[in-house]
Amino acid sequence: MRIDRTRFHDTVLAGVVAAASVALFILYGPDHLQAEGLPVEGVRDSDAFGAALVVLACLPVALRRRWPLTALCLGAVPEALLGVLGYGTGSSSLAGLVLLYSVAAHRGLAVALGGLTVSLMTYTVGATAGPARTTSWSEHVVVAMVLLAAWGAGRSLRLRRAYLEELRDRADRLERAHAADTRAARAEERSRIARELHDVVAHHVSVMTVQAAAARRVLASDPDLAREALSAIEHTGRLAMTEMRNIVGVLRTDARAELGPQPGMQDLPLLVEQMREAGLPTRLLVEGEPRPVPAGVDLAVYRLVQEGLTNSLRHAGSGAEAVVTVRHEPGELDVEVADDGVGAAGLPTRTGHGLVGIRERVALYGGILSIGPLPGGGFGVRARFPLKDGQ
């Protein structure tokens, strides 16, 4: 059977307080008061009935944490009787101080003030209604100060407890907020990695598919050209694996990722050359004076051109040509990928997840993206990135 430790401790405390109170009741009788030169008029000798009242006043201490105000009121009755019957001067007993402290420490301000009022009234009744009389107001002041001190100690403990609880609640809220921020950051990082993987895989697989189809068509008639196409497929696959390894490396927890520099606008010539090898005639035009741009914008431009050329390779049709134009303007970077292929007829199949990811990239850096068929035929992807002064 499990024992309630709190109730057990309060019961033990009630016994200790009762024993101490009975000892004080017996020792500080009329004989002791007379020896100290204090008035003993009307003070009754210590007897068994008085000791029983003292014990009754101490028993409610066992309930001090479950029902503190009720316990205080129960203890106040025998305590007031002690004063009324002349067993003492009406001063508050040890049990009364413990119960007053408990009310102040475990209940709200209104109940605590009610408990203080009960204690003061108990003392007043015992001091004024009994036959024993004090000769000085200083005794009343001292008793009132002791009662206020016990009540103040209880209130101080309650306020400190409430303050610590508020600190714990605040710490829990901060921990939950931190966990939510961490989950959001992880979700954002997963989305970024998924976007990077899509861009890398979609581009390289598209190039490899076109090259494989070309190799299949010329395999019997021109084996040398087929071997070149197969070599290009191998090279493109290695590039894809390298980029995927760099991206997925950040997810490893058992080893340090071997990260290389992210691709940027300086890699556009190589990308254009790769598209030419895949069978899409591509030109790169750079207008204006090149200037350094933020790393995020640099990567976004590369991915935009990569996705635009991949879509042209897939959907523009045979004989189409793509043009990549990079314009460096004051306060702005303008990037466009345009082809003269299928155009509006291919629109439904040319707005997949890759272009949606590009839209997210451009929006992240405050850019403006336009995707759609061109007036003179063909299809275009254009983005304008705002740049701060000095970028």
How far apart are the C-alpha atoms of 28 and 26, rounded to whole Å? 6
What residue has token string 């390779």?
A: 313
Selection from 49, 42, 60, 46 nearest residue 118 by Cα: 60
Which residue type is seen at 317?
G
Structural domains of the chain, ranges and CATH numbers in brackets? 5-135 (no CATH), 280-391 (3.30.565.10)
Q: Which residues contact 264 (CB under 8 A, 6 or more apart)?
A: 295, 298, 299, 301, 302
pTM reported for the whole predicted model: 0.47
Q: Provide the residue count of the chain.
A: 391
What does the pLDDT profile of the chain (391 residues) look like in tens digits?
A: 455 678 888 888 888 888 888 887 777 666 555 555 555 555 677 778 888 888 888 888 888 888 888 888 888 888 888 877 777 644 447 888 888 888 888 888 888 888 888 888 887 777 777 665 555 677 778 878 888 888 888 889 889 988 898 999 898 888 888 888 877 767 776 676 666 666 666 667 777 777 787 778 777 788 877 777 787 777 777 777 776 766 666 555 444 544 556 788 999 999 898 888 888 899 999 998 888 888 888 888 998 998 888 888 888 877 889 999 999 988 899 999 999 886 544 444 445 556 677 888 888 888 999 998 888 888 999 999 998 765 5
Do 158 and 106 meet the contact criterion of CB atoms below 8 Å apart? Answer: yes
- Chain centroid to Cα 105, Å, comes to 32
H-run or E-run covering 154: helix 137-218
Do 18 and 58 meet the contact criterion of CB atoms below 8 Å apart? Answer: yes
Structure tokens at 382: 């254009």
Structure tokens at 187: 């979700």
How far apart are the C-alpha atoms of 211 and 226, rounded to whole Å? 9
How far apart are the C-alpha atoms of 354 and 280, rounded to whole Å? 19
Selection from 123, 24, 20, 41 nearest residue 80 by Cα: 123
Q: CA separation (Å) from 289 to 128, 155, 268, 269, 296?
A: 102, 74, 16, 17, 20
